[in-house]
Amino acid sequence: MNFNFISEKSGTLVFEKTPFINKRIPNHWLSYNANSGICSIQIRTQSSPSVHAYIIEINATENDFLYFTTLTAYRNMLVFVFLNSLPLYLTGSKKKLFHDRSCNLITDTYDFLGLGIQKDHKYLIILIYFTWHFLEQHTEISIGPKISRNISPSLYYSKPAVVTKEALDLLSILFFDEFNMDSGNLLIEEVSGSILTWLLEPLSSKVFQPGNLSLDEAEVFYQQKNSLLHHKHKNVAYSSLLHQAGITDPYRFRRRLKQLYGLNIRDFVTEARLADAISLLKEGDLSIKEIAFKTGFVNAAYFSRVFTNYFGLSPKHLQQYFLR
């Protein structure tokens, strides 16, 4: 599959294709880079005969609209996952906000996706492209215009699903897990198929993001969310944390957080603290006790228990692995 990014301000962005190879990333990874006065884009891709997976990082230096075009003559299915700090704006006749942790399913040949980007913000988009042959082999349902509402609500209603921890774990294996990267095409197809299966689950097992959130309300929420993350290391009650973050309507913020992330305040803050703990464990300069204190946990024992329950291994074991 070929693709292009066209900037409304600077025209078509030309990509330089170079192998992206180091000790942790095998030869089937490729990196595409493009830079202009408007934004810089890096695309890393790996593929099998039936699945192509892309991770796209956009660093916006100016406000602009980017038109992402895919060029293919075959029927296919695309899964877009947005992991970014602010919403992206879909341009064209159907204006729509793509929120953080939004997973979207699109079928048939897709001409272009117009994305509004904001100055001084970074965006992360994951794109998984399935050939129709792969879909026929790996799905037991009929994917077409008469698809059952009960079988595939995400596809039928065209609603964005909230990316759950289960889906995040699968995406992590697909793009970041160095333990499994050398497995090649088999792993790419197996994990990508699991992501598709997760997305096609019945409505009752899904949390969908709201489609009626205005741009102004979305911007207020994301500003408050980022302010909360700025204060997340403070070991205080969650109500105090919201107050210190300048969130004047906690009820509305909690409701939006649940709608967009599927998480309550405690789980959202804990997840953010654990992400920072992973980074500190990789650096290897601090003890487990120091990391627990630095990331906002009450003590090392509680930190280790929460970490182990979330990741399935203790922080001590992970730190020992990083130090090898």
Lowest mean pLDDT among 46-60, 96-110, 131-145, 242-256: 131-145
Check pLDDT > 90 for residue 243: yes
What confidence tens digit (pLDDT) does each residue in 291-322 have?
999 999 999 999 999 999 988 889 998 888 87
pLDDT band at 149 (very low <50, low <70, confident <90, very high): very low
Query: What CATH class does 2-205 carry?
Result: mainly beta
> Which residue ranges does the chain devote to CATH 1.10.10.60?
215-322
Residue 27's SS3 state is: coil
- Regarding predicted confidence, which is higher, 5 or 24? 5
- Regarding predicted confidence, which is higher, 102 or 138? 102
According to the model, what pLDDT value does residue 153 have? 40
According to the model, what pLDDT value does residue 131 have? 75
Q: Mean pLDDT score of the chain, rounded to an integer?
A: 77
pLDDT band at 249 (very low <50, low <70, confident <90, very high): very high
Which value, in Å, is the radius of gyration of the alpha carbons in the chain? 20
What confidence tens digit (pLDDT) does each residue in 40-85 have?
888 887 777 778 888 888 898 888 888 877 655 445 666 777 776 5
pLDDT band at 101 (very low <50, low <70, confident <90, very high): confident
What confidence tens digit (pLDDT) does each residue in 194-237 have?
887 777 776 666 688 887 778 788 888 989 999 999 999 998 99
According to the model, what pLDDT value does residue 44 have? 80
According to the model, what pLDDT value does residue 151 have? 36
What's the rounded mean pLDDT across residues 162-168?
84
Cα→Cα distances 27→2, 19, 41, 47, Å = 20, 7, 21, 11
- Regarding predicted confidence, which is higher, 108 or 57? 57
Check pLDDT > 60 for residue 250: yes
How many beta carbons lie within 10 A of that of residue 187, not counting itself? 17
According to the model, what pLDDT value does residue 71 have? 54
State in Å, rounded, how far the first CA of the chain is from the last one.
39
For residue 241, give the DSSP letter. Answer: H
Residue 95's SS3 state is: coil
Check pLDDT > 50 for residue 152: no
CATH architecture under which domain 215-322 falls: Orthogonal Bundle (1.10)
The fraction of the chain above a pLDDT of 90, given in percent, is: 23
pLDDT band at 241 (very low <50, low <70, confident <90, very high): very high
> Which residue ranges does the chain devote to CATH 2.60.120.10?
2-205
Say if residue 160 is exposed, middle or buried (CB neighbours under 10 Å; 0-12, 13-18, 19+): buried
Q: What is the DSSP string of 251-316?
A: HHHHHHHHHHHS--HHHHHHHHHHHHHHHHHHH--S-HHHHHHHTT-S-HHHHHHHHHHHHSS-HH
Beta-carbon contacts of 149 under 8 Å, excluding residues fewer than 6 positions away, are 156, 157, 203
**Is the distance from CB of 127 to CB of 140 less than 8 angstroms?**
no
Q: Is the dihedral of CA 323, 278, 207, 91 positive or negative?
A: negative
Beta-carbon contacts of 144 under 8 Å, excluding residues fewer than 6 positions away, are none
What's the rounded mean pLDDT across residues 109-113?
55
Distance separating alpha carbons of residues 82 and 86, to the nearest angstrom: 10
Residue 10's SS3 state is: coil
Distance separating alpha carbons of residues 324 and 322, to the nearest angstrom: 6
Amino acid at 260: L
According to the model, what pLDDT value does residue 34 have? 86
